[in-house]
Chains A and B, each alone.
Chain A
Amino acid sequence: MISDLFTAQVIIGMLASGIRLATPYLYAAIGETFGQRSGVLNLGVDGIMLLGAYAAFYAVFTTGNLLFGLLAALAVGGLMGLAMAFISVTLQAEQGISGIGIYLFGLGMSDLLFQITLGSVETVSGFRPVRIPVLSDIPALGDIFFSHNLLVYGAYALVPVAWFILNRTTIGLKIKAVGENPEAADSLGVSVAGVRYATVTFGSMLSGLAGASLSIALLNVFQQNMTAGLGFIAVALVYFGGWRPVGVLFGALLFSTVQALQNWVQTLGIPIPSEVAVMMPYVLTIVVLVFAVQRVGQPAALTKVYERGE
């Protein structure tokens, strides 16, 4: 039975789905990277993803227009980001706990809206696979890398863009300065609060998009708590990736491949309790954190409130 896992077709299918399943992790974790680099831990990612997923799904369900779906997810994510920034930057609330509040709000609110407006599980026709000319005809590799929908490509394109912004632009320099040494950044005229508002809002917009990638591209349904803690893993991936977009990419791929493997194991009917399969990513996260954290230090001002000395 184990040998069923190793036919060429199965392996190609598994790797392709590994590439595809990394999408929500990538959007959410790259977004969170910006916030954390500037010193803000947003633990509400999972709740924001749920709201983004709902908003995108509902927009597509009612209008049939995928663009509206994306815009709705971005708008809802942005609003939640502004709220999180207001709470953690202006009101200086403890980030670990206020994030849980945001999560609970998103969890309840998305379910509430779902029950009021939809009532039952519906499906939409979401983003369809776009086969990239020429490249998608390469045997094996074409199916693995070049036959996905636009949101999948977008997620991977985000990695170099995020790297460029953080490492090659003045904006990136300001973000890192605010996250490492807010006093120094402030004395040089950088608005600490302004930068943090911007990164948290931008990051949450990406979290909204991460939700949309589930509800209108990968699964094409909306269900209560459909993220099932994926947003929390995304937060952990930022630590795992050492606060670097490329590191986050490797983490996302590791998790999505494990997830794809576990889906295949279950479809093939290999007798592992489903609970064990669902548990594995979380166990893996803890193991991975043990090794990741020792390698690189976190932004010095992460979770620390900045207040100007009078």
Chain B
Amino acid sequence: MLKTIARHPYLSRLLDALLPLLATLAALGVGAIMLFLLGANPVEAYTALLEGAFGSQNALADTVVKATPLLLVGLGICIAFRGGVINIGGEGQLIAGAISGTYVGLSFPEQPATVVVPLAMLAGFFAGAIWGGIPGLLKAYYGVNEILSTIMMNQIAVQIMNYLLRGPLIDPEQLTRASRIPETARLARSFDLPRLVPTRLHLGALIAVVLAFLVYVFLWRTTIGYRIRAVGLNPDASKYAGIQVKRYIVLSLLLSGAFAGLAGAIQVYGVHHFMFTDGSAAGFTGSAGFNGIVAALFGKLHPVGTIPASFIFGALLVGANSLQRAMQVPSALITALNGLVVVFVVSSELWSRRIARLRQTGAGAEVDAALLADEFDDDSRAEPVSEVNL
């Protein structure tokens, strides 16, 4: 059955694109069982989910707003995974970007927004780049596994955030109120990112979409992008070809972190307008640093594919929140469901690889061919991440 479909040029592509969606549905199927055990009606619950995500203009806008950081983090993930490095540090990079962006805004409250806001975005971009670049340097020059170092960098970022928000950056007025969650003062209203339509939809969403196309051009139409992908596909061959492999490993992680950092700054200026912490990473990020990975995998590690993928995933998260409110189930359910979706989507890659292999039977040295070709088929993608020596 799979064979017949895989040999069909259009059907196989369609199935490949739909796989993450099927995986998500399967995860939601397991979620339905959990809901049933919790005493909630799964049909009602998932109706609430759909309405929460798509039911009104506001719901749709919320979905896009939720999708924006996923897309930005996901773009960084596309670069990292194509470059053969696994960046689990989106959470920390996003926080680093958000802190730096907030700091810029708090420091220059009287200056014009046209100067401060771009400066804050740049600050977020660079802070994320540093937070991603450190694990990159450690991997390239000291052989430190980037999965571990990025996870540790997440925890360090959270503690720095907690320290700054409880101390130096705390809203001076909060000391008089007895609020439990430490937060900064609200940034000047003139700094708020413009709204696109009379909803919560802000300019950041548009920026993210434009960047998605730029990342595509960068990865497939520039020499640096080509080298990043070459290193990801085959570091040894790249070395023989004269590419400075170590530098490109650092660059992949650095750029990956930069996009997550930008996502943090955009969250502050577009959504919250201040920073807060409940002590954990997810309190501020909403796990966007992890979910961006799933969005990128969903989008087959293609920057443009990550746009609809982020939208679908954003819808899932917004809808899950309304589900939780409508059915009165603990919000921890959403975290558990989120984990299931991650597992199911990653697992569905197996069929993706099988389809790709069935389609390419006979094409022997795919990797070499792909390296030679200026534009290579997306299906050789499945290999770089699993092939890279961690």
A residues with a Cβ closer than 8 A to B are 41, 43, 47, 87, 91-94, 96-98, 100-109, 111-112, 114-116, 224-225, 229, 232, 235-236, 239, 273, 275-276, 278-279, 282-283, 285-286, 289-290, 293-294, 298, 302-305
Contact = CB atoms under 8 A, between A and B. Distances in A.
Given A107-B336, A108-B335, 8 more contacts: A47-B339, A93-B343, A94-B385, A96-B147, A101-B341, A104-B287, A104-B338, A273-B167
B150 to A, nearest CB: 10
18 contacts: A41-B147, A92-B349, A93-B349, A97-B342, A98-B343, A101-B340, A101-B342, A101-B343, A101-B346, A108-B332, A235-B148, A286-B138, A286-B144, A286-B152, A286-B153, A289-B148, A290-B138, A293-B144
Nearest to A240: B148
A279 B160 contact: yes
B330 interface: yes
B109 interface: no
Contact of B340 (A92, A105, A114, A286): A105
Contacts of A289: 138, 142, 144-145, 148-149
B47 interface: no
Contact of B333 (A100, A112, A235, A293): A112
B156 interface: yes
Interface residues of B, number: 49
Given A104-B290, A104-B336, A239 B342 contact: no
Contacts of A285: 148, 152
A121 to B, nearest CB: 15
A103 B138 CA distance: 25
A305 B386 contact: yes
A229 to B, nearest CB: 5
Interface in B326-353: 330, 332-343, 346-347, 349-350, 353
A285 B151 CA distance: 10
Nearest to A115: B330
Given A97-B86, A236-B152, A108 B163 contact: no
B55 interface: no
A105 B166 CA distance: 30
Contacts of B347: 87, 91, 93, 98
Contacts of B14: none
Interface of B: 38, 86, 88, 138, 142-145, 147-149, 151-153, 155-156, 159-160, 162-163, 166-167, 280, 287, 290, 293-294, 297, 330, 332-343, 346-347, 349-350, 353, 385-386, 390
Contacts of B297: 97
A245 B107 CA distance: 51
A116 B145 contact: no
A239 B350 CA distance: 28
Contacts of A114: 332
Contacts of A112: 330, 332-333, 336
Nearest to B334: A108
Given A105-B339, A112-B336, A97 B293 contact: yes
Given A116-B330, A278-B159, A104 B335 contact: yes
Given A93-B349, A96-B86, A96-B147, A115 B340 contact: no
B148 A108 contact: no
B355 to A, nearest CB: 14
B155 A279 contact: yes
Nearest to A284: B152
Contact of B332 (A111, A286, A298, A302): A111
Residue picked from A105, A278, A302, most chain B C-beta under 10 Å:
A105
Nearest to B349: A93
Contacts of A103: 339
A278 B163 CA distance: 11
Contact of A101 (B147, B333, B339): B339
A106 B160 CA distance: 26
Given A105-B343, A232-B151, A286-B149, A100 B336 contact: no
Given A104-B339, A305-B386, A93 B350 contact: yes
Nearest to B151: A232
Contacts of B156: 279, 282-283
B145 A91 contact: no
Contacts of B142: 289-290, 293-294
Given A93-B350, A236-B152, A303 B390 contact: yes
Contacts of A43: 88, 147, 151
A93 B294 CA distance: 13
A18 to B, nearest CB: 21
A107 B339 contact: yes
Given A97-B293, A279-B155, A282-B152, A293 B145 contact: yes
Contact of B143 (A47, A91, A273, A293): A293
Given A91-B347, A115-B330, A107 B335 contact: yes
Contact of A109 (B155, B294, B336, B350): B336
Contacts of A106: 339
B346 A93 contact: yes
Nearest to A291: B142
Nearest to B87: A96
A122 B113 CA distance: 51
Contact of B342 (A104, A235, A278): A104
A236 B159 contact: no
Nearest to A105: B339
B293 A92 contact: no
A96 B86 CA distance: 8
Contacts of A282: 152-153, 155-156, 159
Contacts of B343: 87, 93, 98, 101-102, 105
Contacts of A97: 86, 88, 293-294, 297, 342, 346
B339 A94 contact: no
A109 B38 CA distance: 12
A275 B280 CA distance: 12
B339 A108 contact: yes
B330 A239 contact: no
B66 to A, nearest CB: 17
B280 A225 contact: yes
Nearest to A305: B386
A294 B336 contact: no
Given A275-B160, A289-B145, A100 B293 contact: yes
A221 to B, nearest CB: 17
Q: Most B CB atoms within 10 A — which of A98, A239, A304?
A: A98
